């Protein structure tokens, strides 16, 4: 694996950053997870725009232009011979010192990794996931806005551990009002009375690129969609349920907190969306130069 760091490419075993990097010491930075399909990087511009927004929100000035970052992403794909795979784009505050203040971080660090990814084994796309509600709340937007895709994912990791200990593949995070926010690494969708529903962004959910894409696909197909306040009860009584994310894509859910969703199998509309999504990602995107 060839890793990009600050304009240079390194073999995986030689790819290093300073132990004084604020990204390592404090999770001070932002990132994007991006997918490539059949020689194209899907929604690259949307991911780069969100990266810029996240950086601006934490007062991290990017010294590279959008064009420079795009070219670095594509060259990393080339060097790793990636036609279909996963890209992790990371920007840290850079090398500083052991204090919280970032005033000694003179230059951000840009890291790009291109590799394969299997977030869930194939059987879960055929048979569906089991999910549970965690005791860990989604951190308040007043403390860290969910629109910022920051390197500090400890809230999500603690929730993920809870789910694993309960024997589930994913875990639902509630906000301080007891409303459904999202899962530890994915957005949540469900169908109830024929309407496709997902939690409002104000609930603490990330404005996922896949989330937005699924809403667009569903609306183009003539489905009624809604972003709403969501209670656990809504998930317990829904007809179909699935999760979305760049890594997960669209993965069905067949059990939530011990309640069977629908007939216990991935729903027909979920399967239809999965096919529509697969067609879109394999036919659109920014081409990786040969």
Catalytic site residue 149?
A: yes
The first and second tokens of residue 107, run together, are 């230059």
Kindly state the tokens that stand for 152. Answer: 């500090």
Contact 175, 192 (CB under 8 A): no
- Distance from the Cα of residue 175 to its chain's centroid: 18
Within 10 Å of residue 65's Cβ, how many Cβ atoms?
9
Cα-based distances in Å from 90 to 143, 153, 173: 22, 13, 25
Pairing relationship of beta strands 286-287 and 40-41 according to DSSP bridges: antiparallel
Strand, coil or helix: 268: helix
Interstrand relation of 129-133 and 170-174 (parallel, antiparallel or unpaired): parallel
The C-alpha atoms of residue 14 and residue 12 are separated, in whole angstroms, by 5
Compute the radius of gyration of the chain from its Cα atoms: 19
Per annotation, catalytic residue among 43, 95, 130, 149: 149
Both tokens assigned to 11: 């073999």
Structure tokens, 146: 């969910």
Active-site residue set: 149
């Amino acid at each position: 694996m060839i890793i990009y760091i600050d304009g240079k490419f390194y073999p995986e075993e030689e790819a290093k950053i300073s132990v004084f990097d604020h990204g390592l010491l404090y999770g001070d930075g932002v990132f994007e997870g991006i997918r490539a399909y059949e020689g194209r990087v899907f929604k690259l511009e949307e991911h780069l725009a969100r990266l810029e927004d996240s950086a601006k929100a934490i007062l991290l000035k990017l010294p590279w232009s959008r064009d420079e970052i795009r070219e670095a992403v594509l060259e990393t794909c080339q060097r790793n011979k990636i036609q279909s795979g996963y890209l992790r784009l990371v920007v840290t505050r850079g090398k500083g010192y052991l204090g919280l203040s970032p005033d000694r971080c003179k230059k951000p660090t840009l890291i790009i990794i291109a590799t394969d990814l299997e977030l869930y084994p194939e059987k879960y796309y055929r048979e569906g996931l089991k999910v549970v509600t965690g005791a860990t709340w989604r951190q308040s937007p007043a403390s860290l806005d969910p629109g910022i895709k920051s390197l500090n994912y400890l809230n999500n990791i603690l929730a993920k551990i809870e789910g694993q200990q309960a024997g589930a593949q994913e875990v639902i995070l509630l906000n301080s009002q007891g409303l459904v926010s999202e899962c530890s690494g994915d957005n949540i969708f469900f169908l109830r009375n024929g309407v496709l529903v997902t939690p409002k962004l104000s609930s603490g959910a990330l404005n996922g690129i896949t989330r937005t894409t699924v809403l667009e696909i569903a609306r183009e197909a003539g489905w009624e969609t809604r972003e709403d306040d969501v209670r656990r009860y809504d998930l317990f009584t829904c007809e179909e349920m699935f999760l979305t994310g760049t890594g997960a894509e669209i993965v069905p859910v067949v059990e939530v907190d011990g309640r069977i969703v629908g007939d216990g199998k991935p729903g027909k509309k979920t399967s239809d969306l999965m096919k529509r999504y697969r067609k879109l990602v394999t036919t659109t995107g920014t081409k990786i130069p040969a």
